[in-house]
Chain A
Amino acid sequence: MDSTAAHGHLVPYRTFVRVWLVLLFLTAILVVASRISHEAAVWTMLTLTPLKAGLVFFYFMHLKYEKPFLKGLLLLVLFVLIVFIALTFLDVSFLR
């Protein structure tokens, strides 16, 4: 077995707890914003939801400590998804 560097970075427990608290806090903001107005609900959804997902990916899923190649692959997948969403919206707008 090779060195521990290749086999996972040791993350302190308190980092996980902090990330969890931030995730709960962001969820509370989302719920409150959805009660305020429709605009607030949409804007917090479009900004805070990807932020929450990013926190889970980066800390809980250790992406922060992975090689740039893996990070790049994830970006590629998200890019493909965005391209498909954009093209479909374009298509639908022509059909109207």
Chain B
Amino acid sequence: MSSATAPSHPVHKDYEGSKMGMWIFLFTEILLFGGLFLLYSIYRSEYPVDFHTGGQHLNTFIGVANTVILLTSSLTVAMAISAMQRGNRKLSITCLSVTIVFGLAFLVDKYIEWSEEIRKGVYPNGPALAKFPNGEKIFYGLYYAMTGLHGLHVLAGITVLTVILVFVKRGKITSTNFNQLENAGLYWHLVDVIWIFLLPMLYLAA
């Protein structure tokens, strides 16, 4: 549609359809991680002792710290949407920026955690992992696959939220037109929900 026709032709926005589309995408994400959760539960029932010792080696402090970071970032993104609904653009920008900073903090924690494991030689095909029993090899394989895929989702979420922040600053997102912000928030919350499951599965299982 050319922009020349825009004034006489009101722009049609289907908020319900847009939100439904986002939710359907999130359902596919649930099933994607659901497949990994299925693998985890089958192998945990196969190697209960190895999964137990595997979990003991992980850094619980970093796992819990990352949970607090993500839960808080979920709060700030929910506040960013609420603030925008109320027309408080300034608060919305602050909350969005804080959310992005929390997301980056999560990735920094993940970097510290992974480099510690890799330094010890505990990585797929690493020298230390090769000496571990089979169940622990599977545990660490799942640990890297699940936290890695989740980490990519955090990175994607940060990217989306940054784009949304630019949109808010440029006035493309307003108190009557904030659907993109809402959908970005939904994505970020789902990333948080997945981490809620990963924490007890990997870090608290021991």
Contact = CB atoms under 8 A, between A and B. Distances in A.
Interface string A35-52: 000100100110001001
B114 interface: no
Interface string B170-203: 0000001100001001100110110011011100
A88 B75 contact: no
A53 B196 contact: yes
Contacts of A17: 75
Q: Which bracket fits the contact residues of B?
A: 35 or more
B193 A85 contact: no
B148 to A, nearest CB: 21
Contacts of B205: 34, 41, 45
A10 to B, nearest CB: 6
Interface residues of A, number: 41
B34 to A, nearest CB: 4
Given A73-B27, A74-B27, A77-B31, A34 B200 contact: yes
B189 A89 contact: no
A45 B196 CA distance: 10
Interface in B71-111: 71-72, 74-75, 77-79, 81-82, 85-86
Given A31-B204, A41-B204, A60-B78, A20 B71 contact: yes
B23 interface: yes
Nearest to B38: A85
A49 B186 CA distance: 19
B67 A27 contact: yes
B20 interface: yes
Nearest to A42: B205
Interface string A49-67: 1001100110111000000
Given A20-B72, A24-B68, A27-B64, A81 B30 contact: yes
B13 A8 contact: no
Given A1-B13, A27-B199, A57-B193, A13 B27 contact: no
Contacts of B153: none
B34 A70 contact: no
Contacts of A44: 200
A41 B68 CA distance: 19
Given A19-B75, A20-B71, 10 more contacts: A10-B85, A20-B72, A23-B71, A24-B71, A34-B204, A45-B204, A77-B27, A81-B38, A85-B41, A89-B45
25 contacts: A6-B15, A7-B176, A13-B79, A16-B82, A27-B64, A27-B67, A27-B68, A27-B199, A34-B200, A34-B205, A34-B206, A45-B204, A49-B196, A49-B200, A56-B196, A57-B189, A60-B74, A60-B78, A60-B185, A61-B186, A61-B189, A61-B190, A77-B30, A85-B34, A92-B42
- Nearest 5 A/B pairs, CB to CB: A34-B204, A45-B200, A20-B75, A81-B34, A77-B27
